[in-house]
Amino acid sequence: MILQVPPNLRRVCFLAILIFSSITIANAQTVKGTVSSEGEPLPGASVSIKGSSKGTSTDFDGNYTINVNSGATLVFSYVGFSSKEVVVGNQLTINLSLDPDNQLDEIVVIGYGTQRKSDLTGSVSTVKAESITQNPVSRVDQALQGRASGVQVTQVSGAPGAGTVIRVRGGNSITGSNEPLWVIDGIVVGTSFNLNNINSNDIKSIEILKDASSIAIYGSRGANGVILVTTKSGKSSGAGKPQISLNLYNSIQFLPELPDRLTQVEQIAFTNESAAFRSAAIPFPNDPSTYPDNDWVDLVLGPALIYNADISISGSTDTVNYYNSFNYFNQEGIVKSSGLEKYIFRSNLDVKLTDKVRAGFRINYSRLEQDNALASYSQAAFGILRTQPVYNDDGSYNGFDDVVGSPFSNPIANRELNTNETFTNNLLATAFLEYKPAENWIIRSTFSPEFNNTKQNIFRSSQAPNLLSVGDVGQGSASVRTVASTGWNNENTIQYSKDLNEDHSFTALAGASFQKVSTEIAEAEAFGITSDATGFNSLGNSDPTRSVVTSSFSGFQIASFFGRINYTFKDKYLFTLVGRTDGSSRFAAGNKYEFYPSVAAAWKISEEKFMENQDVVKDLKLRASWGKSGNQAIGPYRTFGLLTEANTTLNGVEVPGLTLGRPSNPNLKWETTNSFDVALEASLFGGRIFTEFNYYYKKTEDLLLDVTIPRQTGFTSQLQNVGSLQNQGWELLLNTKNVSTDNFSWNSTITLSSNKNEILDLGGVDFIDVVVDPLIGSGNTRLIVGEAVPVFTGVNYLGTWKSQAEIDASGMSSQVVGGSRFEDRNGDKIISTEDNVVLGSPFPDLIFGFENSFSYKNWDLSFYFQGTVGNEVFNLNMRNNYFNRGETVKFGDLRDRWTVDNPTSDIPRAGADSVTNTPPNSEYVEDGSHLRLKTLRLAYNYPINENGFLKGFKNATIYMSGANLFLLSKTRLIDPEASNFGSSGLGNIAQGYLSAQYPNPRVVTFGLNLNF
């Protein structure tokens, strides 16, 4: 039977369908956008309409387009990432960032590209923006300490703007730099780039490339590891309205714990004892209360403030994404004459010109204004006795030390009268053009210029009290030094990616890189300035016969050609092949070019069938790599002979001339490091635990060393390629999600690493002495075959001589009762370097970091410990402040020194050093193991949706944090991380030397983050 519909009803139904269709069409709209993770596009991500079968997926650039009703909900998903839902509403563009639910699915930056961590065949550690910005730091390298396994970061000084020493899997060179290569947004900026030029709040992530597979793409400069810095873009800000972020904080710096020193009364007693033992006049014959009691530390140091404000504006559209920021930073130093002021502007812009062409630029301009300390903590704490007056009776500055009987440098007067300031302007930029001629092809070219200009002004007043105290008037001096550096870097790459059915996929990259850098230095120094009126601004107001003018130029060029192939079979067998050829102008013809290959493989064990039907291991990957990398290790022109000034006489008149100051060596070549790495990565219990274990071995050959040559050549040494050394060690990373509920979460991170460094060959000699302190002399630091680079050496300290009979029995007639006793190992009755033994090494047996973070509703709490175990430090202050005479401040240990009333003490008597020589010895070497509470942070995330007070804001956070709040250490100078020689020059190998450097302060910070 056929049901007949009445005509009127048919008309009503037709009208209803028409109205409903009109409404549907009116509500339908086309939505576009990009799906990404941590700023990187996710190709193949799913975009579906909730409750329907309709959907699409993103293209190679993470872009998608879908027709959807305004009331519908879009579901965004991708394998290994947490899905997200978004109600469409009236939005026409929806850009979304997905969060990985497994660390192996994180997107990480590698050389010239990005990869999922699960697809890596190399060793890469990542430090996210949260770890950098949550606990404010003035330099990005300070945020790396303890956060990446296999990376040792030492904060060598607490001075404003002071850098760090970084060792990635140990040091590979003796003469050359051991610092890693820094690459910022793809720009190779070298090993000595001033990181004060970068605003840490602009950084999205930092990747540390550690093994041969990951660093080989950087060839000759990757041997010491590569640190990739990626700055923020507008991709994560969403489309439409720009996002404005404001970051404000103020910090108070407090003096850390100070070393134990003798009080004024105790010091007076020691000084008098020392003088009496030497039969010298007693410096303090009166009651101690009649002498000044000046704590010079309080006069020179004090609490100081830090101010920071930065604002950023970011956003994106279908064709443009942008990020612009401005940062103002002002840090007063706890040494009152020091400080740093920074102004940093950044602009990042990416533009999609067509479907095939993309362009962009990165510009970072900074201006640094630094006040260099005119007084030192070391002088204040250990160099000047508390009895020394600050002022004379007439109110003028005191400049004469009556105890020593000579002028002294008054730090308070220096601060008021002298000037030492440095101004730096830096422009770091890059522009790129990217072309996709066809699917899966990417051609990219970048050009990156850098301009750096530094000017240092120094003025030493003619009114300095140490000059006036001896009537040396009119002896002011001044200098002006300028450094102008320009350079450019051009990178050109072509990349092809292809999937062959479901089993095979590969990506091939080829490229060429060219770099040129030149530096000019000019310095003028004037002496005999009689007036302070013009300071350093009129160097001509001086004695023209004593003026010194110097200038220099240096430069280098590098040309490189590289390639990389990544191949994946069935998404479980991964292979990487990398090769790079570098050519450097630093070497002579025949040795300019070197080829650096690497090969790596990984096996995703968890993808095998035998891993099915179990819920413990979510992901499991085994990987291994081998490769070669290099180190230029020398400055420009080292292959050439050096001309130096040498006066001669012509017709009875002395005239200036030149002579050959060092021999040439055109045979110099690159230092080469062969590396092997094997690792296991695992994600367990549904991603609640992630762990990674690495073992590595590195051998560096053709070390560049100064080798003794026959004197008949006219020289004593020549730089040659001789010797070798090795590094081997292991690394462990453990991330755990201990608790995860709607209101409470608790996450932990542990990093452990150990590296053993050993010299294998020194060109046929057993050891080389390194002089780190001319006063101490040789024999305290050595490069020894079979030992680390370097080791501390000296004689064994045996305590004190307890009786004259003991001295007589030893045959050492020059010794005194109560004086220092040392081990005579060779029995020749003389204490010399022949009696030296290895006393320790600055390399730790273990480096660790431990972080816990808690979140309860709107509250966040985190704390982070880091430290070392098994390393030693060499206390350079021991000579003057433990063994020497009484003219300097002594360590508190000397309260229990040998005296007639304390004849069993093993601490030497006052003044004994004036009779018996004190060589470097085992008392100089102290345990450098330590535990530091690096950061502590408490934050409150204001509930925006619950209160109309902040309506319109995306989020708001107020926080309080502390840095360096707690330190457990056995060293007399308290902080074992300080380094007397920094990271360059002698500091390249001479780490672990302490001499009361600028202390690392305790810092308490109050901050506010706003996004709207």
To the nearest whole percent, how much of the chain has pLDDT over 70? 91
Q: pLDDT at position 102, please?
A: 58
pLDDT per residue as tens digits for the range 683-731? 998 889 999 999 999 999 988 777 766 766 666 667 788 889 999 999 9
Query: How confident is the model over 782-816, as pLDDT tens digits?
Result: 889 999 988 999 999 999 999 999 999 998 888 89
Report pLDDT for 773: 66
Nearest-angstrom CA–CA distance, 149 and 45: 32
Average pLDDT over residues 194-205: 91
Q: What is the reported pLDDT for 20? A: 40
Look at 837 and 223; give whichever has higher pLDDT.
837
Confidence band for 531, pLDDT divided at 50, 70 and 90: confident
Residue 300 structure tokens: 């020179």
Measuring CA to CA, which residue among 788, 830, 629 is closest to residue 216? 629
CB of 164 within 8 A of CB of 153?
yes
pLDDT of residue 751 exceeding 90, the answer is yes
Q: What is the pLDDT of residues 598-614, one digit of tens each?
A: 999 999 999 888 888 88
pLDDT at 285: 94
Q: Measure the CA–CA gap between 44 and 117, rounded to whole angstroms.
A: 17
Checking if the pLDDT of 2 tops 50, the result is: no
Q: If residue 26 lies in a helix (H) or strand (E), which one and from where to where?
A: helix 7-27
Q: What is the pLDDT of residue 302?
A: 95
* pTM for this prediction: 0.86
Q: What's the pLDDT at 926? A: 96
Greatest alpha-carbon pair distance for the chain in Å reads: 137
The pairing of beta strand 767-769 with beta strand 46-49 = unpaired
pLDDT at 662 over 80: no
Q: CA–CA separation, 719 vs 662, rounded Å?
A: 9
Q: What is the pLDDT of residue 113?
A: 84
Give one DSSP letter per residue of 34-82, joined into a string.
EEEETTEE-TT-EEEETTSS-EEE--TTSEEEEEEETT-EEEEEETTEE
Pick the closest to residue 587 from 559, 561, 563 (CA basis).
559
Task: Look at residue 827 and tell me whether its pLDDT is greater than 80.
Answer: yes
pLDDT at 146: 75
CA dihedral 819, 822, 828, 831 (to 10 degrees): -80
Whole-Å CA distances, 195 to 316, 364, 603: 28, 12, 38
Q: What is the structure's pLDDT at 237?
A: 65
Q: What is the mean pLDDT of the chain?
A: 87
Secondary structure element (H or E) that encloses residue 320, with its range: strand 320-332
More confident residue, 447 or 705: 447
pLDDT of residue 39: 63
Kind and range of the H or E element at 497?
strand 476-500
Per-position b or e across 74-98, b if 16+ CB within 10 A of its CB = bbbbbebbeeeebebeebeebbbbb
- 545: number of Cβ within 10 Å: 7
Parallel, antiparallel, or unpaired: how do β-strands 226-231 and 73-78 relate?
Answer: unpaired
Least trusted range by pLDDT, from 266-280, 404-418, 760-774, 989-1003: 760-774
Which candidate, 790, 803, 793, places its Cα nearest to that of 825? 793
pLDDT of residue 16: 45
Lowest mean pLDDT among 243-257, 343-357, 647-661: 647-661
What pLDDT sits at residue 488? 95
Q: State the pLDDT confidence band at 972, using cuts at 50, 70 and 90.
A: very high
852 pLDDT higher than 90: yes
- 53 pLDDT more than 80: no
Q: Which residues does 911 contact at the CB level (< 8 Å), separation at least 6?
A: 273, 274, 275, 276, 277, 278, 885, 886
Q: Quote the CA–CA distance of 698 and 729 in Å, as a whole number.
A: 9
pLDDT grade for 778, boundaries at 50, 70 and 90: low
pLDDT category at 651 given cuts 50, 70, 90 is confident
Residue 308 pLDDT = 96
Contact 96, 76 (CB under 8 A): yes
* Mean pLDDT of the region 196-200: 93
Question: pLDDT (tens digit, 9 = 90+) per residue, 144-193?
Answer: 887 888 888 888 888 999 888 889 988 888 877 888 999 999 889 888 88
The arithmetic mean of pLDDT across residues 198-215, rounded, is 90
pLDDT at 79: 64
Reported as a single tens digit per residue, the pLDDT across 863-877 is 999 999 999 999 999
The average pLDDT across 742-758 equals: 93
Taking residues 395-402, what's their average pLDDT?
Answer: 92
